[in-house]
């Protein structure tokens, strides 16, 4: 059996269970490219019965990751109508102790058996990946004023140093909300991405200013050729502790949604472990695409209710 091709089919089936998914060649090619690296450069364990692939676990060590530090990229997929829990328990029971670096591990929300096995082995949730319909969220989220003394303004190139320092300081103090947020590799990419966006008159890069200077950053980037959900926006938010609890999140999201809608975004998605973001996500009708897993989680399951696999 061609395990790679069968694995791609399983992952496509998982995406098809999400209401906003746009099926087509771009989705197939993106999944195939991602999984090809794991199958060709990493290791694969598969459960095959009667000529069908029922479950597969693949992983590879990435020395240079998007996060900055090295990670293990892990992929798990399985048929929902198959009895795979015992096989998954044996496979992960042997695998988990060997994955001694950070993980890049997004488990689709539909894979309840895999989630239960991993939780039983002590693996926990680092954050939840949420997907939202831009039009629905925009209609549900009424405009709201910024609190007194806080200004939401378009970012300029003169703000790049302050933005980078904001991420470094905030996530050094609160790594539980973004374990890689203060890593120099990630910070460099954030700065480069913002600088590139600022070169466009249509950028969605903003800063929150107070009398103390830049205290927050909010951005959205629309990928008009998004492989999974059509024109899709990704976001980045970082607020200094002094802004937390002051009511800045709602007007920031509304401003970003205004921009996403104006640029033709159909969907927006991103990972979070922030309670205010998850609370607002429910109001906007966002749904879980999956959970991002870690070997040593900072939060218990109650922290993420009701976005966990059920």
pLDDT per position as a tens digit, 145-199: 999 999 999 999 999 999 999 999 999 999 999 999 999 999 999 999 999 999 9
Shared-domain flag, residues 59 and 155? no
176 belongs to a structural domain: yes
Average predicted confidence (pLDDT) for the chain: 96
Neighbours of 3 (CB within 10 A): 16
CATH number at 217 reads 3.40.630.30
255 and 151 both lie in a single domain: yes
Answer yes or no: do 155 and 260 share one domain. yes
Q: Is position 300 within any domain?
A: no
Is the same domain home to 107 and 236?
no
Over residues 133-160, the pLDDT tens digits come to 999 999 999 999 999 999 999 999 999 9
Shared-domain flag, residues 224 and 157: yes
Asked whether residue 232 is assigned to any structural domain, the reply reads yes
155, 221, 233, 295 from 186: Cα distances, Å: 19, 17, 19, 21
* Shared domain check, 260 and 145: yes
Closest CA to 122 of 309, 296, 292: 296
Q: Are residues 32 and 69 in the same domain?
A: yes
Is it the case that residue 19 has pLDDT exceeding 80?
Answer: yes
- Do 59 and 197 belong together in one domain? no
Residue 7 sits in the same domain as residue 110: yes
pLDDT tens digits along 207-223: 999 999 999 999 999 99
Instruction: Describe the crossing of helices 85-95 and 112-120 by its angle, rounded to 10 degrees.
Output: 40
SS3 content of the chain, % helix, strand, coil (to 5): 40, 30, 30
Long-range contacts of 160-163 (CB under 8 A, 24+ apart): 160/191, 160/194, 160/195, 162/207, 162/213, 162/214, 163/190, 163/191, 163/194, 163/207, 163/214, 163/217, 163/238
Residue 296: inside a domain, yes or no?
A: no
Last residue of a domain, one of 66, 98, 122: 122
Give a yes or no: residue 305 inside a domain.
no
By DSSP bridging, strand 232-239 and strand 213-223 are: antiparallel
Quote the pLDDT of residue 310: 83
Structural domain of 172 = 133-270+277-285
Residue 1 in this model has a pLDDT that exceeds 80 = no
Asked if 156 and 177 sit in the same domain, the reply is yes
Structural domain includes residue 310? no
Q: Considering the entire predicted model, what is its pTM?
A: 0.95
Question: How many structural domains comprise the chain?
Answer: 2
């Amino acid at each position: 059996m061609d395990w790679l091709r069968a694995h791609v089919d399983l992952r496509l089936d998982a995406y098809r269970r999400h209401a906003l998914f746009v099926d087509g060649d771009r989705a197939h090619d993106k999944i195939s490219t991602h999984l090809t690296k794991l199958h060709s450069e990493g290791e694969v364990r598969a459960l095959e019965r009667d000529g069908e692939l029922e479950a597969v676990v693949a992983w590879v060590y990435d020395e240079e990751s998007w996060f900055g530090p090295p990670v293990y990229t892990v992929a798990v997929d399985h048929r929902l109508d198959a009895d795979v829990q015992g096989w998954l328990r044996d496979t992960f029971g042997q695998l988990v102790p060997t994955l001694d670096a950070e993980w890049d591990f997004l488990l689709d929300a539909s894979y309840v058996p895999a989630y239960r096995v991993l939780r039983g082995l002590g693996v926990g949730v680092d954050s939840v990946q949420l997907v939202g319909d831009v039009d629905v969220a925009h209609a549900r989220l009424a405009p709201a004023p910024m609190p007194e003394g806080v200004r939401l303004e378009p970012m300029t190139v003169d703000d790049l140093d302050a933005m980078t320092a904001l991420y470094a300081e905030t996530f050094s103090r609160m790594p539980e909300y973004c374990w890689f947020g203060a890593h120099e590799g990630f910070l460099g990419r954030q700065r480069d991405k913002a600088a590139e966006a600022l070169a466009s008159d249509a950028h969605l890069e903003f800063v929150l200013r107070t009398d103390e200077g830049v205290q927050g950053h909010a951005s959205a980037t629309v990928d008009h050729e998004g492989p999974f959900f059509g024109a899709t926006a990704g976001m980045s938010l970082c607020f200094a502790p002094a802004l937390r609890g002051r009511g800045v999140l709602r007007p920031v999201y509304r401003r970003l949604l205004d921009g996403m809608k104006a640029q033709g975004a159909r969907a927006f998605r991103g990972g979070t472990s922030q309670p205010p973001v998850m609370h607002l996500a429910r109001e906007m009708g966002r749904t879980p695409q999956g959970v991002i897993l870690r070997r040593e989680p900072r939060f218990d399951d109650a922290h993420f209710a009701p976005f966990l696999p059920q």
